[in-house]
Amino acid sequence: MQITVENIGKKFVREWIFRNASFDLLAGEKYTFVGPNGSGKSTLMQLLTGMFPASEGVIKYTDANGKNIETDQWYKHIVIAAPYMELVEEFTLREQVSFHSRFKPLKNGISLPEFEDFIQLAHASDKLIRHFSSGMKQRLKLGLAFMSDVPVIFLDEPTTNLDTQGFQWYIDNVTRYTDNQMLLLGSNVKQEYEFCENIISVSAFKQI
């Protein structure tokens, strides 16, 4: 899987959030988008996922055989963990994971109880998501991202709402379970991406 970005820009009303952004994202590599708050990190990542269209430019997904993947098929190849990504509040934890796995199979045939142990929430298996703390929800989002068998993982502000224990859980698992996948991070917290050698500054694409 490769993502090619050619001169994309995003405009809200009269303001360009960024413009003329061009880069290639290669299979199995790790990338972090950095920049001050409001620089457009999350906007750029949402364009790359296909959540929003670019105002200009082109984003291309190509598979291992060089075949172009249509925009409406990108979702099959990616998984996202982000503050703006909603969980189904009416589901229990087990129902949420079961529902997710219908669209994104879990790695190595991991069972639902094994997944719950992995995210350290086995005690909440039958608890409704609406009654989860913000930290529990974030751990669930990250667990689904780490364990989904897809080529590309998006993590936007991955340790938002995590306590010290949760932060350490993220650090322990982010490289261990994303070894052969493309990982795209949006972050200003250096500890979240210290392992990443490919740093892309969104500020470089700001319209002057």
CATH number, domain of 56, equals 3.40.50.300
Positive or negative CA dihedral for 162, 78, 146, 36? negative
Summarize pLDDT for 160-186 with one digit per residue, the tens: 999 999 999 999 999 999 989 999 999
Domain with 72 in it: 2-205
Instruction: Dig out the tokens for 177 from the structure.
Output: 């379970």
Cα 59 to Cα 52: distance, rounded to the nearest angstrom: 12
Sequence-distant (6+) residues with CB within 8 A of 15 are none
Cα 189 to Cα 75: distance, rounded to the nearest angstrom: 27
Of 100, 103, 105, 106, nearest to 88 by C-alpha is 100
Instruction: Decide if 144 contacts 91 (C-beta within 8 A).
Output: no
The number of folded domains in the chain is: 1
pLDDT of residue 39: 86
Summarize pLDDT for 186-207 with one digit per residue, the tens: 999 999 999 999 999 999 998 6
